[in-house]
Structure 1
Amino acid sequence: MPSADRGVFSLIIINKAGGLIYQREFQAGLRKLSTNDYLVLAGTFHGVHAITRSITPRIPNSQPPPSPATSSPGTAPAVSGYSYPNPGVAVTGIDYLETDKFRLTCFQTLTGTKFLLFTDPMTGNVDTIVQKIYELYADFVMKNPFYQTEMPVRCEAFDRHLGAWLRGRT
């Protein structure tokens, strides 16, 4: 498959409540979904993301916590006997989902906004692409004095710069 055919298929942005605030397709010939389909997709992904975040497995600590009888009064309560696989990294839900036809990458901001990027599975540096999209979002949407947080994104400058940047990288 030529590299010009690979790349970004679609972008969906979901607010922290699970509502669809932005959707755009970048490849011609994709199956068209209705607005309702995109709303259902956004809400469903938001729910699945929350569920996968809550079921992240915890592994037993190597040392059992001290028993209450041996701890002195006034000390901090005993720590649970379990921790997440990588204690230094915050627990997240689905980060990516890959099939033979596409790769779905989810980037969640600190405010809970989720960026869902659909790409060809052979596309490299997807994390860099998502980071650049987030930078464009921050520059052209969040700094727009007329944009209200959590509302649908209607920003021509964001659309224009996003499209130009994605075209320029192929």
Structure 2
Amino acid sequence: MKKYLLAVTLLLGSASPLLHAADPEDAVAFRQGVFRAMGWNFGPMGAMIQGRKPFDAEAFAQGAERVALLASMAPEGFVEGTGIQDGFDTRLRDEYWYQQDHFNKLMTQMIEKAEDFSRQVGEGKDREALRPAFGQLAKSCKSCHDEYRARD
């Protein structure tokens, strides 16, 4: 719950300015690093859920906890002056800058799904029981990618 409250505070912009990167370059690096780290953890969990990799409950729990924490940190990297139009090599589409309320709604949903998923993993549920929550989290991530991430 504390992680969720921190994320909501960041989304609403009332967090201390000390939490934000000093310059746009740092914000872009932070944002991209958080999402890389999420993928680093999310990918192996997906392979375990799909049965492409043996299910390791300890590694899975660690990944879920990390994804929840990283999800709560992600909003901090979305600051003014960090878009393609500002000269940065980023996949953040221009739509973000004029649809921030919708983006924030999607980001909040992703944070909530990550927290819920991590909680369910912590309850010791097995792979099959975790499949729906993992799917909901993946769907939540995809909704933001579909609307605000430029395609390669």
Query: TM-score, length-normalised on structure 1?
Result: 0.27
Task: Find the structure with the greater CA-based Rg.
Answer: 1
Bigger helix share = 2
Bigger strand share = 1
Query: TM-score, length-normalised on structure 2?
Result: 0.29
